[in-house]
Amino acid sequence: GAVVSQHPSRVICKSGTSVKIECRSLDFQATTMFWYRQFPKQSLMLMATSNEGSKATYEQGVEKDKFLINHASLTLSTLTVTSAHPEDSSFYICSATTGNSNQPQHFGDGTRLSIL
Amino acid sequence: QKEVEQDPGPLSVPEGAIVSLNCTYSNSAFQYFMWYRQYSRKGPELLMYTYSSGNKEDGRFTAQVDKSSKYISLFIRDSQPSDSATYLCAMSGRGFQKLVFGTGTRLLVSP
């Protein structure tokens, strides 16, 4: 149980392109989803927290107009990297939880984004 | 200074060895402490979590938290090649929300 599917697993695209990453909870209702980013040799860094039906809450230093998050249903959240540039190349990973702070986050397998 | 420090390794041990993985942290507000295991090209999976100080045991795994020293450990007994993975510590001040992760320690258990 508690499976989170993230798609695509790998994206390579040209600078200036917008890229959408999907995160789905397959067997539970995810009231809250989290988006993380990990640069090489660094730790997973929380980018934003999204609650179903609400605007996402972004961490300090994360541009909300660049990283658009939509959490329109209890099983799907999307992260769109708009006008991506090489410095946006990173490993993006989502997690989902039922929203109760006592329930663990379940992670997707991540998306490796490479901007040429 | 990073909020959570973790040696990236790799840590190489022979099968059957006892493995000790550690993290230190600076934020005294952290109350919840977790260990995640991450296999290559997979997302992290929760291994164990503890609240405040103390020990917790689950099979071959033991988690320890020493809040006075701001130091947490994960011990793996009778390590197996299948334990080869990256182990991430994570912590928060409020349950499983807003986790702060270490960089992860890569563990290699050789047969």
- The residue whose two tokens read 């179903």 is A52
Say if B46 is an interface residue toward chain A (CB within 8 Å): yes
For A9-39, b/e burial (b = at least 16 CB within 10 A) is eebeeeeeeebebbbbbeebebbbbbbbbbe
Q: Under an 8 A CB cutoff, do B41 and A107 touch?
A: no
Q: What is the pLDDT of residues A65-90, one digit of tens each?
A: 999 999 889 999 999 999 999 999 99
Residue of A nearest to B40 (CA): A109
| Chain A: residues touching B (Cβ < 8 Å) | 4, 6, 9, 32, 34, 41-46, 49, 93, 95, 97, 100-110
| Number of CB pairs, chain A paired with chain B, less than 8 A apart | 58
Q: What is the pLDDT of residues B66-90, one digit of tens each?
A: 999 999 999 999 999 999 999 999 9
